[in-house]
Structure 1
Amino acid sequence: MHVFVLTGAGISAESGLGTFRDKGGIWSKFDPMKLATPEAFAANPLAVHDFYNLRRRNLLGAAPNAAHHALARLEKGLADQGGGVFLCTQNIDDLHERAGSRHVHHMHGELLKSLCSRCGARARCETELSILDACPSCGRDNSLRPDVVWFGEMPYGMEEIEAALEASEMFVAVGTSGSVYPAAGYVELARSFGMETCEINLEPSDNAYVFDRKFYGPASETLPVFVDEILKG
């Protein structure tokens, strides 16, 4: 079996990383238009760097939870059976990788990478970024930004995502709000391909009505049980 898994902020919430659109989420405390757009970075790079430096420190102090480990187990288990997992995450953290998932598509980029706005080079970044940093590739200063997809920018690898969806037999969304596009539209695309769709969430998402099967509760509890079911066939 080939399974397409889409994960959102909810899967990392139990690891201490904040969600965005829930009550008390990150965007209820900060204005995304002042911190997560190319225009905001051009207008006030210091504030944007401060925001993402804090998030980077929080991420480095976090650890994957049982839900992340369950998806790594699913990837290995299906590969052993001749199938596979396409793990597409909206999250910019690296908790899937730290849990053991080997193939993760970060459609919204990665917090622990920098992106040069001059030459386009990407580099691992576990330290704080500032306007004084020079790009390790081209040497220009005042050019590095977090390698994350901001509002108004195109998610990474859209064609790869749609091809993986078409090649899958089951679509599973974990910890997603169902309100962020284009990701929120993938369940409809999956249904158009005739595959079974499943939602695993703390509570119903905005598009929960579209899914065939629904499992509600903490992802660290519901997802391992779901993975066991899939691997047993």
Structure 2
Amino acid sequence: MSTRPENTFANTTFAALAETDEQLSKLKGGEYSKAVSAERFNTAKAGLEAKGFKVTVAENKDDAFEKLKGLIPAGASVNLAHSTTLEEIGFVNYLMGETPYDNVRGTILAEPDREKQAELRRTIGTTVDYFLTSVGAVTENGEMAHGDLTGTKVGGVAFGAKNVVVVVGSNKIVKDEAEAYKRITEWCFPFAGAYAREVLKVPGTSLVNYQVLRQANPFSPDRIKVLLINEALGA
């Protein structure tokens, strides 16, 4: 039986913010909030594997939580980029408690000075043993795309971390790279703007960095692992 913690960030899911944020409300119930068919799910899994990514399939949030724990060895240093998916499966709350890992995220958040905290994100935050994140889109051909404002997310994924685990729901599966960019710009970043208004109390955010992972690194083929969840999760 899963010991998945309850998600205490339910007020900042896509569905919750679409109810309260005027700019996001027009996307409420849109196609990118829904899980794809079993056929498209299996096509994307095969595409990721053909591109050299190691894929683990989870059927739901409970299964994803347990399998993610199983992908990270005890004693490993761990950090994560902000991810609604990781919040929804309970892993962010899990990291707030006692774990067998070196919780670098906790060390960063414990620094009260914002400039010093930013420096920790740049240094120890992106060079951990395991960097956990999600992406905005996974194509049926096996590419993954995502973006951010500051580089702390794309930097850890591109090169900094020793291992990366991408945790992604099936609602993020799209046809191709063109649709991946559409999903990120027309769906993910409106959500990010609503999140910024709700949590950070700023007007919005920007897509400064945009990254496409077209295949696994041939010199480190097992570095990026994908936990593909057969359920709609995240933004």
Between the two structures, name the one with larger relative contact order (CA 8 Å, sep ≥ 6): 2
Q: Same fold per TM (> 0.5)?
A: no
Q: Which has the larger radius of gyration?
A: 1
TM range, smaller chain: 0.3 to 0.5
